[in-house]
Amino acid sequence: MRRLFTTLVASAALAVAAGGGVAGAAEWDEVRLPAPAGGTLSVPAGFVGDLSFWAPNRGLMTVAGNNSVPAGLYSWDGESWHQLSTVCGGGQNSRIAWAGPTEFWTITVPSAGSAASGTGLCHFKDGAVVGSYSFYNVPAFGPSVPVNAATCRSANDCWFGGVGSLGADGTQPGAFHLHWDGTELRPVVNGQGRGVSDLITHGGAVLESTFAGIGAGVGAQPPFLRSPEDVPALLHRIDGFSFVNDPFVPTPVEGVPADGTDLRSMDTDGRTAWAVGGGAGSGPAAANGVVQRTPVAVRKDGDGPWQEVPLSGTLPTDRWFGSVAAVPGAGEAWATLTDSEVGGGFISGDSSAPSVAHIAADGAVRTVELDRRTGPAARGAATAVACTANDCWAATAKGYLYRRSTGATSARDTDPAFQGTISIRPNEAAAQAIADDPPADDSRLLAPPVELPTEADAEAAIECAAPPALVTRVKATTGKLTKLQRRQANAKVTLIIRFRLARRARVGVTFKRGKRTVARVKPRALKAGTRKLTVSVRRKSFPKNIKFSLKELTTPECTAGSGDVAGTGPAS
């Protein structure tokens, strides 16, 4: 699910290289997780928010944990699962986005405090958490702005989408997004504020699905729209920093209002993209808080348009498709079926039986119960599903796991990044945070025409003298080292950056060693004059270069020369 680069061709090549073969009909079988540390018996891992695979022998699963299992992530190596991380997992809207073969992001909780799920991010790379962020109190948006979805086009281009909201001052409606450019994580807003349900990368483009109603994922709030929509725009394409509405409209259903359909999940195998959902959240007056309608599935082949799949079979009106997984190369998909949700998250599902649905290329739907034991709540509803060239996997609200295998095999993944157990997460309160300046409304959905400068403006600009550079006299030094610090090869040291600030500005600093960011100083407002900033770094990852991020808080008569300044690299 949400695979970044796994296409049909790549998946088939992996299976052949590993000696995989073709098998006959497959059934869903339970897979028992290994016993937790100190235990001897297999136990479920708690709520599973997401399942995602880079390859048939490299997969991840986020778990909320329980009394026996720490919240975090499990990884699959082609032969078995093991707990990869005891940090950065869990939560009803925990999601995974692959940025490379050994690099990925998870939506989680902040590293400190008890903020809600979906208000923190972790950046994993080469077997470690290299970045930790929180956004439960972004000044421009208010105290709670959880995100529900994530995808990456590359290591330097990742998107995270969340709830619809109003700015903290009651203006600027929009859907809360975050964008990672390889250096910084910054807020972006879509002016039409329908809550984001999912994001995928398909054909090199970032595609987005949204909620139409007021149910889970949007904080039980009606959409914050700047411009009314007769029919909700449920699908978008992110073009640069613009949000382009797709013309897709669900087929009208008798008795179902125009805004009665949600799209809740997306997936792609590189050739065919899927978006699925069902009845939109409608408040407590309706049964289960949703519009009663049959599930819906939409498909996009290559660069073609989104088209609704005409579903056939026994279709319930009190359940919907929750999570979806494209079957590589088949033009088919598996989806979870659920009938419960909670405000502020996706699926609760503790009181539901686990079941999934197969959606054939012609729209025929076949429902499969994953567990038939006595009591519908024995294992919880299916919450996540994912497919590779070899297998399909499904997990439940209580942390039980099921596999549908073709019989093909893969060589065991021995990459060091997925062998150990990660237990260390940086505290973003100390070094890393989201930029807190109010974001621009980059939606361009309602942008006025661009006004070109007049000839008089051009002449005035030529005559205007450039103001002094905003930052000058940059010097980097280290604090005095103790004897113990001198003996320890990887001791923490204090790095001091002194500089001259020409005008009042908000100043932040990024410290890099090659392409790797090793530390940051959160932007803060500083008065003009000689200033200094400090940060703790490890001796082994001592930065070689520094870069300032600057935002002037006073407007000079001319603004030339007031951009970002690359500082001199400190000596190690």
Compute the distance between CA of residue 144 and CA of residue 221 in angstroms, rounded to an integer: 13
- Encoding tokens for residue 265? 């999940």
Higher pLDDT, 500 or 267: 267
Task: Please state the rounded mean pLDDT for residues 353-368.
Answer: 94
Task: Please state the rounded mean pLDDT for residues 482-505.
Answer: 78
Q: pLDDT value at position 463?
A: 46
Local confidence band at 7 (pLDDT 50, 70, 90 cut-offs): very low
pLDDT tens profile 13-55: 333 333 333 333 468 999 999 998 878 888 999 999 999 999 9
Q: pLDDT value at position 563?
A: 34
Domains 8-430 and 467-567 agree in fold: no
The answer, yes or no, to whether residue 340 has pLDDT greater than 90, is no
Task: Please state the rounded mean pLDDT for residues 333-341.
Answer: 86
Sheet with 96-100: list strands edge to edge: 96-100, 103-108, 120-125, 128-134
DSSP label at residue 155: T
The answer, yes or no, to whether residue 242 has pLDDT greater than 80, is yes
* pLDDT over 90, % of the chain: 40
What's the CA angle centered on 520, arms 516 and 525, to 5 degrees?
150
For the chain, the first-to-last Cα distance in angstroms comes to 43
Compute the distance between CA of residue 22 and CA of residue 122 in angstroms, rounded to an integer: 37
The answer, yes or no, to whether residue 384 has pLDDT greater than 90, is yes
Q: pLDDT value at position 377?
A: 61
Which conformational region is residue 170 in: left (phi greater than 0), alpha (psi within -120 to 50 degrees), or beta?
left
CA atoms within 13 Å, Cβ hemisphere of 262: 32
- Encoding tokens for residue 244? 């382009």
Higher pLDDT, 251 or 10: 251
Q: pLDDT value at position 79?
A: 95
Compute the distance between CA of residue 289 and CA of residue 213 in angstroms, rounded to an integer: 10
- Encoding tokens for residue 163? 């709830």
The answer, yes or no, to whether residue 544 has pLDDT greater than 70, is yes
Alpha helices in 407-482 (DSSP H): 428-431, 455-463
Q: pLDDT value at position 71?
A: 93
Higher pLDDT, 147 or 542: 147
Residue 261 CA: distances (Å) to CA of 278, 279, 287, 320, 432: 6, 5, 15, 10, 39
The residue whose two tokens read 């975050």 is: 178
Answer for the pair 321, 335: CB distance below 8 angstroms, yes or no. Answer: yes
Q: For strands 296-301 and 306-308, give the pairing.
A: antiparallel
Higher pLDDT, 6 or 95: 95
The answer, yes or no, to whether residue 502 has pLDDT greater than 70, is yes
Answer for the pair 33, 44: CB distance below 8 angstroms, yes or no. Answer: yes
Q: Using alpha carbons, select from 107, 53, 108, 106 the residue that is nearest to residue 81.
A: 53
Local confidence band at 352 (pLDDT 50, 70, 90 cut-offs): confident
- Encoding tokens for residue 62? 């986020």
Local confidence band at 287 (pLDDT 50, 70, 90 cut-offs): very low
Q: Which of 127-136, 314-323, 400-409, 428-437 has the lowest mean pLDDT?
A: 428-437
Q: Which amino acid, one-letter code, is at 372?
A: R
Local confidence band at 375 (pLDDT 50, 70, 90 cut-offs): low
Q: Which of 137-141, 264-268, 327-331, 425-429 has the lowest mean pLDDT?
A: 137-141
Local confidence band at 494 (pLDDT 50, 70, 90 cut-offs): confident
Residue 383 CA: distances (Å) to CA of 30, 322, 336: 15, 7, 7
Task: Please state the rounded mean pLDDT for residues 494-512.
Answer: 86
Q: pLDDT value at position 90?
A: 81
CATH (residue range 467-567):
2.60.40
User: In degrees rounded to 5, what are phi and psi of residue 539?
Assistant: -60, -40
* pLDDT over 70, % of the chain: 76
Q: Which amino acid, one-letter code, is at 512?
A: K
Q: What is the topology classification, in CATH, of domain 8-430?
A: Methylamine Dehydrogenase; Chain H (2.130.10)
Q: Which amino acid, one-letter code, is at 178?
A: L
The answer, yes or no, to whether residue 457 has pLDDT greater than 80, is no
Q: Where are the domains of the chain?
A: 8-430, 467-567
Q: pLDDT value at position 350?
A: 55
Local confidence band at 344 (pLDDT 50, 70, 90 cut-offs): very low
Q: Name, in order, each residue with C-beta under 8 angstroms of 564's C-beta and a sequence gap of 6 or more.
A: 547, 548, 549, 550
pTM of the full structure: 0.72
Q: Using alpha carbons, select from 289, 239, 235 the residue that is nearest to residue 260.
A: 289
Strand partners, 516: 513
pLDDT tens profile 137-161: 776 676 678 898 999 999 999 999 9
